[in-house]
Amino acid sequence: MRSARLPNLLPALVAGMALSGFTLLSLPATAADALEHKAEVAQGKARQEDLEKGKALYLQNCAACHQPEGQGLPGAFPPLAKSDFIAADPGTVLEITLKGRQGKITVNGVEYNNVMPAMSYLSDKDLSRIITFVLNSWDNPGGIVTRKQVAAYRAKTETEAKQAAGERHPGSGEAEQAYAAQPSQITDARARRTPGAPAISEAEYNRATQIFFERCAGCHGVLRKGATGKPLTPDITMVKGTEYLKALIKFGSPAGMPNWGTSGELNDADIDIMARFLQHEPPAPPEWGMPEMKGSWKVLVPVEDRPTRQENNLNLQNIFAVTLRDSGEVALIDGDTKEIVTTIKTGYAVHISRLSDSGRYVYTIGRDGKVDLIDLWSKVPQTVAEIRVGLEARSVETSKYEGYKDKYAIAGAYWPPQFVLMDGATLEPKKIVSTRGMTVTDQEYHPEPRVAAIVASHQHPEFIVNVKETGRILLVNYSDIENLGITTIDAKEFLHDGGWDSTLRYFITAANKSNTVVVVDSKDRKLVAKVPVDEIPHPGRGANFIHKKHGPVWATSALGNDKITLIGTDPARHPDQAWKVVQVLKGQGGGSLFVKTHPKSKNLWVDTPLNPEEKISQTVAVFNIDNLDAGYQVLPIAEWAKLGPGPKRIVQPEYNVAGDEVWFSVWSGMNEESAIVVVNDKTRKLKKVIKGPRIITPTGKFNVFNTGHDVY
């Protein structure tokens, strides 16, 4: 037995195809960058059984890049056969297979500059067999690496044990994946072929289009021009070639590209189809303009036929509109009795419900772009108008400025990238505005900047519109709709969700992938601040409360870490703290989507539904606002729901109108039982579980009063 450095096996298995694109990373490695590693290689003869199994594992996990005989791919993946790199330093294989590597290396006189992803998702036994097979093949120096040696090195380097069982998305958190790569709802797109690209049949093209919209468009954009991910257009992908792309898709990369093949989510046939598909022009979804909108627009109950007063005995201020995601419905639940009033068919997977200022109308928007207008005054609340504003959408809002309350509605689309102003009582489309344009940082044209959050100003007759990819915030003045005035504020790319401070003057919103919170003064109509925060803030609408030391603050949690960030919001009385991070709380973990409190509450609630750990995703953390330094209490919400099997996640705390109850969705699979758990806000004890066959994958919940009056 002799000490040696294990060879740099697979030093560039996959080029840097990050979640944000298939582009190569140029991160040169220097001697100072080299990782510390020590391992032993036995000089004995490897067992034939292990070599055979190692070969099979190699062909399954490595050959797509380094080829079946270890010859590599010129210009892309270095050879493992007769490798002078391995012969000179047979000591880094184990290190790099477990931890990955990026940067320049030279193998057999040729320089490569790619990314090798960590293969820690493989078991200790499988890794030992692959390494031993390579060491003993193709004129390499020989040697044996045992399972115990792999386990010891894994423990020594603190490579996460969970990865040994299989990590779906190496280098990219599950939370980020679930958030960023939501499937597109676009189903109708025209096929386009690129001369010189690999042959692909009509059936294969259609299959690839489906996969792309389901798994890729959320990051890379419908047109593959780049969104939160970088472009995947033919000028980029054709240079790489089919085999290269197959490897990238199969194995992923440490920079964030999911390993769609080794995770089991795509089979080899689909990977081959996708590798060829990506070298062709992306399919072109149809536009959706005024003729299409008017063709989808229906007034089911004319205004003149609607009630002139409330015809039911419901306490409308305490009604909850609850998204039943997978059934394409919204449940209206009585917050007093905890009974379902009715369920209403809506667009697919309603993203949000918004309430008219009067509290009469509920506006919902599905991810398929369908807007439904629900009249709460009807004897049984019902849909009175509907329209489809695009092929994919996320946001809707109603006018709230004095003199214009309930007059207009607005909806923003992901595709086409645009928003539309509508009559508030009928949804008749009045004005469509495209959001295509230049990004704020690089001043480069972006063909599909999606409309994210929309809020209604309380200071002017305006809607505030987040244009995600360009990083622009639009102040849309509707006082003269025929001469629409739009003020553009250059903020930060990847604008997403946000809400108001407690005075309803300052709009505070996350530019998530820029790790920034942006503040806009809606009264003076200008940018106030760009506040750096840590790793993918996701506030929902945020949470406002009075900090004992720093005065009024607004809180956001994050997808990428366990931090809850508090930002001062009172420039008049606390100028030194205004628009600065005044405190960072440590929560349960990353993967949070919402924080919530209420003016009458002393609690700050933080969910973590996208955390990969069950004990975290199935519970919530709650802080005492008056004693934040004491840390959080964990409440077992999923356990309280007493449900059967299913992937339970706890999402979106929402208060009742009195502020003494907080509601949580226990979101399980479509075919498993879900529930809504109601907690006493003062005692933090279980109060009620709402469940049954009509509660199907509940996600968002929106209290009529709190939502309509921006109470959070």
Cβ 135 vs Cβ 145: under 8 Å: yes
DSSP letters along 151-177, please?
HHHHHHTT--GGGGG--SSTTS-HHHH
Count other C-beta atoms under 10 Å from residue 337's C-beta: 12
Catalytic member of 17, 65, 119, 216: 216
Cβ 569 vs Cβ 552: under 8 Å: yes
**Residue 461 to residues 58, 237, 468, Cα–Cα distance (Å):** 64, 46, 22
Q: For residue 446, give every residue at least 6 positions away whose Cβ sits within 8 Å of its Cβ, in sequence order, or none.
A: 225, 226, 436, 437, 438, 439, 469, 470
Q: Give CA 222 to chain center in angstroms.
A: 16
* Nearest Cα residue to 424 out of 452, 391, 399, 389: 399
Cβ 232 vs Cβ 278: under 8 Å: yes
| Catalytic residue flag (residue 538) | yes
Handedness of CA 392, 23, 9, 246 (dihedral sign): positive
445 phi/psi in degrees, rounded to 5 = -70, 135
The CA dihedral of 179, 181, 187, 190, to the nearest 10 degrees, is 140
Q: At what angle do helices 268-277 and 202-215 cross, to 10 degrees?
A: 90
Distance, CA of 148 to CA of 218 (rounded, Å): 41
Cβ 363 vs Cβ 356: under 8 Å: yes
E-state strands within 406-536: 408-415, 418-423, 429-434, 437-438, 445-446, 451-456, 462-467, 472-477, 485-490, 495-500, 506-511, 516-521, 526-532
Distance, CA of 486 to CA of 465 (rounded, Å): 10
User: Could you tell me where the DSSP H helices lie in 579-658?
Assistant: 614-617, 637-641
- Find the angle CA(416)-CA(281)-CA(193) to the nearest 5 degrees: 125
Distance, CA of 480 to CA of 279 (rounded, Å): 47
Catalytic member of 62, 65, 219, 422: 219
Q: For residue 200, give every residue at least 6 positions away whose Cβ sits within 8 Å of its Cβ, in sequence order, or none.
A: 193, 208, 273, 276, 277, 280
| Catalytic residue flag (residue 216) | yes
| Catalytic residue flag (residue 257) | yes
Cβ 212 vs Cβ 279: under 8 Å: no
Distance, CA of 373 to CA of 344 (rounded, Å): 11
Q: At what angle do helices 124-135 and 48-61 cross, to 10 degrees?
A: 100
Handedness of CA 172, 215, 595, 568 (dihedral sign): positive
* Nearest Cα residue to 157 out of 209, 105, 118: 118
Q: Copy the structure tokens of residue 76.
A: 């892309």
Helix (H) or strand (E) holding 341: strand 340-345
Catalytic member of 496, 547, 574, 598: 496
* Nearest Cα residue to 364 out of 332, 392, 340, 330: 330
| Catalytic residue flag (residue 496) | yes
**Residue 551 to residues 146, 471, 530, Cα–Cα distance (Å):** 60, 30, 20
Catalytic member of 538, 550, 574, 598: 538
* Nearest Cα residue to 480 out of 413, 544, 408, 556: 408
124 phi/psi in degrees, rounded to 5 = -60, -45
| Catalytic residue flag (residue 62) | no
- Count how many residues are written for the chain: 712
Tokens 């120096």 — which residue?
141
| Catalytic residue flag (residue 66) | no
Catalytic member of 17, 62, 257, 274: 257
Catalytic member of 66, 169, 220, 550: 220
Burial classification of residue 138, based on how many CB atoms lie within 10 Å of its CB (0-12 exposed, 13-18 middle, 19 or more buried): middle
Distance, CA of 413 to CA of 395 (rounded, Å): 7
Q: Which residues are catalytic?
A: 216, 219-220, 257, 496, 538
